[in-house]
Amino acid sequence: MAEQTPALLVVSAHAGDFVWRAGGAIAAAAMRGEKATVVCVSYGERGESASQWLAGKSLDEIKDVRREEATAAAEALGAEIEFLDMGDYPLVESQEAVAKLIDVYRRVQPTVVLTHPLDDPYNGDHPAAARMALQARVLAQAIGVANSDGTFPSKEDIIGAPPVFFFEPHQPEQCGFKPNVLLDITDAFPRKQAAMECLPAQKHMWKYYTDLAERRGVQVKRNAGPNLGLPHETMGEAYERYYPQVTGELR
Amino acid sequence: MAEQTPALLVVSAHAGDFVWRAGGAIAAAAMRGEKATVVCVSYGERGESASQWLAGKSLDEIKDVRREEATAAAEALGAEIEFLDMGDYPLVESQEAVAKLIDVYRRVQPTVVLTHPLDDPYNGDHPAAARMALQARVLAQAIGVANSDGTFPSKEDIIGAPPVFFFEPHQPEQCGFKPNVLLDITDAFPRKQAAMECLPAQKHMWKYYTDLAERRGVQVKRNAGPNLGLPHETMGEAYERYYPQVTGELR
Amino acid sequence: MAEQTPALLVVSAHAGDFVWRAGGAIAAAAMRGEKATVVCVSYGERGESASQWLAGKSLDEIKDVRREEATAAAEALGAEIEFLDMGDYPLVESQEAVAKLIDVYRRVQPTVVLTHPLDDPYNGDHPAAARMALQARVLAQAIGVANSDGTFPSKEDIIGAPPVFFFEPHQPEQCGFKPNVLLDITDAFPRKQAAMECLPAQKHMWKYYTDLAERRGVQVKRNAGPNLGLPHETMGEAYERYYPQVTGELR
Amino acid sequence: MAEQTPALLVVSAHAGDFVWRAGGAIAAAAMRGEKATVVCVSYGERGESASQWLAGKSLDEIKDVRREEATAAAEALGAEIEFLDMGDYPLVESQEAVAKLIDVYRRVQPTVVLTHPLDDPYNGDHPAAARMALQARVLAQAIGVANSDGTFPSKEDIIGAPPVFFFEPHQPEQCGFKPNVLLDITDAFPRKQAAMECLPAQKHMWKYYTDLAERRGVQVKRNAGPNLGLPHETMGEAYERYYPQVTGELR
Amino acid sequence: MAEQTPALLVVSAHAGDFVWRAGGAIAAAAMRGEKATVVCVSYGERGESASQWLAGKSLDEIKDVRREEATAAAEALGAEIEFLDMGDYPLVESQEAVAKLIDVYRRVQPTVVLTHPLDDPYNGDHPAAARMALQARVLAQAIGVANSDGTFPSKEDIIGAPPVFFFEPHQPEQCGFKPNVLLDITDAFPRKQAAMECLPAQKHMWKYYTDLAERRGVQVKRNAGPNLGLPHETMGEAYERYYPQVTGELR
Amino acid sequence: MAEQTPALLVVSAHAGDFVWRAGGAIAAAAMRGEKATVVCVSYGERGESASQWLAGKSLDEIKDVRREEATAAAEALGAEIEFLDMGDYPLVESQEAVAKLIDVYRRVQPTVVLTHPLDDPYNGDHPAAARMALQARVLAQAIGVANSDGTFPSKEDIIGAPPVFFFEPHQPEQCGFKPNVLLDITDAFPRKQAAMECLPAQKHMWKYYTDLAERRGVQVKRNAGPNLGLPHETMGEAYERYYPQVTGELR
């Protein structure tokens, strides 16, 4: 097979989601020297910033804070970050946002895509972002679909069919999230921790997501089998692969 | 991680199943120099040998024919083969058969296991074999579970937690089979073809499973993406991974 | 296609089930002049005869009552009836009962099979009977599977692949029962009513199942469309087809 | 029941879909002397015409080619065809398109409707067309819903509740497609073949869908049972019935 | 736990739905002295008023009739009622309607919410209303989401996380409705009956929903167990709880 | 309704399961003054005692240790405990074990039953215990089913229809476990902690299940809504209710 340059694309509904849910995978990619790009469809300015609204901040001030925090977190992980600023609560699906995402896909040429799962009874913005991420991924493959500036793509601009992984939602069972990939993030966890600490308003989440990484790490060990000699303190993240895995070897 | 020696174990309800459904994966493993072992829980002497019954063959004659054909097919693939001769139609689950399978697991120390999916409204022997294969895999991990000769295993005898893949049933949608792994068997296909030709009584299946390999090959290409430059004549087999994949890298 | 003589086979866990749940289909078949055969795997002597146990009846007396009532009900529907007397509460799956069912299949040569659905959290006997009915149907197709007297079937004795329909359980949603066939039993309903009245111990069920027939009749009308001019008092029964329908015409 | 004149309506997202997926059913209806109407919601001008974009054709030229090819294919099948030209990739759901479909339903008075299944992770246009086809079918039944020209329907104009069948998507298992109807298209297959040959740009699909018809034909035979004497070369198409079947006879 | 004042909110797609499907729950709440509020997103003027269209009534006349009937029915149940008049057949989801519902939530401060289930292949208005009811419930919890007049909510205005129950659709199994709560409405049933009688155009539904209440009542008794001494004539309604139940005691 | 005396019955496959998975519910019941009974179907002597096998203990020694530890843990929770000693790895379903469970049900007269969920790809003993617990619960309701000593039950001996809750398995998503009840165990947690400390061989589980209780506690708070003023350190356990909840009030 022709080799593609590895490139990770993460589509995040709000400015913080990618840190808690996929920080390990992002850091691991960056530590392998791969390019990682995070796209935040909104800042999460209305739905995930209650303390700042209570403190009397304005909408623009809140967006600024969230952009700065997310930028610092992405840097800690080793990723680039972009903001589409399409509004949240609700994040309304639009052809405008999809068109921007098509451009991102064609520019980034991702070999792996991460986004939210398609069901979330607690937060409709997450599935909305995921639906747009999936739609843009398909449209970006078609040479007949124009870029957002009206030009048509060249044969090099269109993308392939990168695998998509859904990262873990806050209440996985209620979202119908069934992990079929357990990622060992032991080596990447210090970077994830550093990224979490860039989000001081959600300090209570630091422990929560550290505990979750331990829990998923236990499952990494259990599913890998004891013979593999994984260390006691293995840390993990859970993912759900959306399309079938293509491989030349079962393992 | 500590490396394990790759070893493939295939648990097949009847003497022919492994050829049609997993011949590509077996041949590919053998071509990589890995050990591959096929266990046939029964010969399929009652349920899958109609033409021989109609020809007036005896039960023992039919078993002999099926053992010889399956042995030849395994050899063509590059695999070893064993027969438990537990009877078919129905293949009745028993602790005796499970005990034999535990021994096999501990002897083979598989790093990958292939078997039938858990639902099949057309043939109850297939799920029965799969349930026993899964039960034996769990029991073989426990140091408190004796071998079939009553001795207790050493720490080296017990097995890890090898991944399990279900191979494709004859009517996949009716069996709730949803492939989540598409295996490229292009290079291994000539061996699979040779193995199929060891089963002359089912000659009509040769074309059927060649067509299926083409069809799954189209899906290999479609899910891999056009950029990968897979050849036009890619051949494939479909699998369903039962436990979550454990990995250090999403791709 | 070669025409087969229509023959209906109903496998009922207990002596009463076929009346409430499939009486309309049975009567309709009989009214078309087709042969209908009911097999009761048990009498329902322990689990469905509370009032008789409270009245101090013996096990044999209870079986007698239930056999007589069921026989009368079958006659009212126009069907033949057989009793396997394999015990209930629990109805334990056994190769002995399956062997008897294989004989029935080969004797009756059914073109349609009715039985219980595969899940019922309120009564495990129902799924047990259904599993045996399904297993026997597959085994009866194989020329290598002997009859219960040890003789082997001739080519004429083995059966084809008759469609299977699950009839409606008492609490359909809890049993995962999703009707995909709505049967118009308007003309057959008087016979079903007569059959229900053969079961005096369960008099409160008469109204219950009349109401249900009305309710399913409303759905018959709703799904058929108003243009078909079905009468106001359409009566119905709900079924779930287990295998795909084979047809030469979509409608 | 009052008889309705048989009329088949096929709602196809793009100009080619109806040929590959439902050509047998359409030809069979036409061969029975029934009216068959195909509605293409878009031409598939952006998403399914890569070779023409690469060849430098303009949007209008591509639409023209696709319209001509689809018209020829419909003629080969014996069907009429209409084009709504609502755009593709993405095909955006709109009340305007639904209104046009309502008019079609009321004009055609279909007794059977065919469309795409509701899930397709590879092509969002297919479910979008199906959702609109389903919505229009319900709205066309209501006398209070105006026609697209603002007039209200007469009692004769509204439609009944025609059954809906989903035809087979390209990767059935990934779309959650579980066939519950297998259609014997042996006699109609030559017409389907002629129709496929009207689409020269997708020549590689001719063999693919011929193989698929053989594969589904094997399942037709297997599910019908060997007794029916279906010929060796039976060809088939798979469908999923969306609403319960209404019938006066189980078979 | 801090006690909240009990308040029931019912979001109904059309003017009649709440009576048939949730009348018992509403009456029971009112009889306990709790406040109950019904919001009808539309009048059901196009899709559920066929007889009035046939009688030549105008759109406004039909709306008036339906508003009056629904108001009388709500009064009979002991509930307040509001009409959003957003149109039906189709009921189109809009941010405008969601904004109105957010205001309702903040004003009513519901401790329990009832609405339609999320799937209904017979009537798309029902899921559309449910999706908006669910979205508004989440948005009304966020202090960063403005009221419809542009003002921002105070900390007292935002709502908690009231449980949501889906009421029973007309064809429950086809809507994937699996009741997980059976409500005893025996005492409230006379009020429900009085409310049904406020809807004279659908007189055939009176018996239908009385029969259904009996049927669900049988299930109340069966699932409660015979020891509880529920009266013979227990009446019931079925619900599906959407979010997990939070409790201090399992029972 | 006639009041029943609250009584909790827990059916646990192995001697330790009830502590980790249901310790909070058991302690809470005991703290309310209710009787709680734990039945361990096996000791888990083969499958869950690896360290003791490695230390060279005999089967009987291992059983003794596990009985003593489980007895101490039950005491710490405030529950009585019984051991059926039916063997583990595999725990084989048998009519003998079911008969013993029927006796337990009739003696304990439970108003609530807790057991394992029905799927567990990591440990087949858990579903086997659950299936027997469910079967015995149904059989114990029937006056025609004898006690294990051959006597028939009186009308007082048979049981009602107590609700069943599945407790949380080790890898919930892989077991298809979807919590629909979140139990607040904050007050009972110290007792659960004390019970966990009675199982010194599994010291690494203490932290694991404390973290899990915190995690489920976060969900308790999230699903209850912020208005309820639950304390920051709320602890929780997750359950899946098997039968519909019967209630006189939605909340």
pLDDT digits (tens, 9 = 90+) for C96-131: 999 999 999 999 999 999 999 999 999 999 999 999
From the list A134, A139, A242, the residue facing D89 with the nearest CB is A139
Q: Is the pLDDT of residue C229 over 80?
A: no
Residue C1: pLDDT above 60? no
Q: How far apart are CA D37 and CA F244, in angstroms?
A: 47
Rounded to whole angstroms, how far apart are CA atoms B168 and B20? 9
How confident is the model at residue F1, as a pLDDT?
A: 43
Across D234-249, average pLDDT = 97
- Statement: residue E2 has pLDDT above 70: no
Q: CA-to-CA distance for E246 and F216, rounded, in angstroms? A: 11
Residue F225 or residue C139, greater confidence: C139
- Judged by phi (left if over 0) then psi (alpha if -120 to 50, else beta), residue F205 lies in alpha
Distances (CA, A) of C56 to B4, C47, C48, E28: 67, 15, 15, 42
Q: Output the average pLDDT for chain E.
A: 95
Q: What is the pLDDT of residue A145?
A: 97
Chain B residues whose CB is inside 8 A of the A111 CB are: 251
Tell me how close the Cα of A1 comes to any Cα of chain B, in angstroms.
5
- Binary contact (C143, B89; C-beta < 8 A): no
Query: Which band of pLDDT confidence, cut at 50, 70 and 90, is reported for residue C227?
Result: low
Chain D nearest-CA distance from B185, in A, is 19
CA distance C82 to chain B (A): 24
Separation between Cα atoms, residue B45 and residue B85, nearest integer Å: 10
Q: What is the pLDDT of residues C19-38, one digit of tens each?
A: 999 999 999 999 999 999 99
Chains E and A touch (3+ CB pairs under 8 A): yes
When CB atoms are compared, the residue of B98, B135, B144 closest to F50 is B144
Cβ of E182: how many Cβ atoms within 10 Å? Answer: 26
Q: Which residues of E touch A61 (CB under 8 A)?
A: none
The answer to whether residue A1 scores a pLDDT higher than 70 is: no
Name the E strands within C13-146.
35-40, 80-83, 112-115
B12 beta partners:
B40
pLDDT of amino acid E202 = 86
Residue B170 scores a pLDDT above 90: yes
pLDDT in tens, chain F (251 residues): 456 899 999 999 999 999 999 999 999 999 999 999 999 999 999 998 899 999 999 999 999 999 999 999 999 999 999 999 999 999 999 999 999 999 999 999 999 999 999 999 999 999 999 999 999 999 999 999 999 999 999 999 999 999 999 999 999 999 999 999 999 999 999 999 999 999 998 888 999 999 999 999 999 999 987 656 677 789 999 999 999 999 999 99
Contacts of D44 (CB under 8 A, 6+ apart): D13, D14, D15, D16, D17, D66, D88, D125
CA nearest to F144, candidates F154, F133, F132 = F154
Please give the Cα distance from D223 to D220 (Å, whole number): 5
Interface test with E, best of A42, A43, A45, A46 (most E CBs within 10 A): A46
pLDDT above 90 (res B107): yes
Angle between helices E59-77 and E17-31 (to 10 degrees): 30
Domain A7-241: CATH architecture, name and number where available? 3-Layer(aba) Sandwich (3.40)
User: E146-164: per-residue pLDDT in tens?
Assistant: 999 999 999 999 999 999 9
Q: For residue E90, say if its preceding peptide bond is cis, omega within 30 degrees of 0.
A: yes
- The span from the CA of A31 to the CA of F17, in Å, is 41
Compute the C-alpha angle C240/C244/C250, nearest 5°. Answer: 100
State how far the alpha carbon of E133 is from the alpha carbons of B115, C184, E104, E119, F180, in Å: 46, 38, 10, 14, 21
User: What's the pTM?
Assistant: 0.97
Alpha helix locations (H) across F109-248? 125-139, 189-196, 203-224
Contact residues, chain E, for A92 at CB < 8 Å: 95
Q: Which residue of B has its CA nearest to C158?
A: B50
Cβ within 8 Å, pair E244-F219 = yes
Chain B nearest CA to A250, separation (Å): 7
More confident residue, C128 or B226: C128
Residues E78, E26: contact at Cβ < 8 Å? yes
Residues on chain B touching C156 (C-beta within 8 angstroms): none
> Domain extents for chain A?
7-241
pLDDT exceeds 60 at position A2: no
Cβ contact, residue pair B173, D174, below 8 Å = no
Q: Which of B170, B173, B214 to mutate to test the interface with D (most CBs of D within 10 A)?
A: B173
Under the banding of pLDDT at 50, 70 and 90, the label for residue D201 is confident
Tens of pLDDT along C38-56?
Answer: 999 999 999 988 999 999 9
Type of residue at A2: A
In angstroms, the Cα distances linking F143 to B126, D26, E232 are 39, 59, 21
Cβ distance A249 to B160 less than 8 Å, yes or no, reads no
Q: ipTM of this model?
A: 0.95
**Ramachandran sector of residue F87 (left: φ over 0; alpha: ψ -120 to 50; beta: rest):** left
Q: Are C126 and C48 in contact (CB under 8 A)?
A: no
Buried b (16+ CB within 10 A) or exposed e, F54-77: eeebebeebbebbbebbbbbbebb
Cross-strand partners of D237: D183
Residue A30 CA: distances (Å) to CA of A26, A75, A181: 6, 10, 19
pLDDT at B1: 43
Sheet holding C181-184, edge to edge: C80-83, C35-40, C7-12, C112-115, C164-167, C236-241, C181-184, D245-247
- pLDDT attached to residue E63: 97
- pLDDT of D1: 43
Tokens coding B240: 């369903």
Amino acid at B98: V
Q: Output B232 or F72, whichever has higher pLDDT.
A: F72
CB contact under 8 A, A144 and D54: no
**Any chain E CB within 8 A of the CB of A50?**
yes
SS3 F96: helix
Residues B198-216: pLDDT tens digits? 999 888 899 999 999 999 9
Mutate to test the interface with D, among C181, C183, C234, C251 (most CBs of D within 10 A): C251
In chain C, what's the furthest Cα-to-Cα distance?
A: 57
CA E196 to chain centre: 14
**Where in F21-150 does DSSP place strands (E)?**
35-40, 80-83, 112-115
For chain D, say whether C31 makes contact (Cβ under 8 Å).
Answer: no
Cα F42 from Cα D186, distance rounded (Å): 59
Task: Write out chain E residues lying below 8 Å of D144, CB-based.
Answer: 45-47, 49-50, 53, 62, 89
**From edge to edge, which strands make up the β-sheet containing D7-12?**
C245-247, D181-184, D236-241, D164-167, D112-115, D7-12, D35-40, D80-83
Is chain E touching chain C, with at least 3 CB–CB pairs below 8 Å? yes
Q: What is the pLDDT of residues E215-230, one digit of tens each?
A: 999 999 999 976 566 7
Contact A206, A192 (CB under 8 A): no
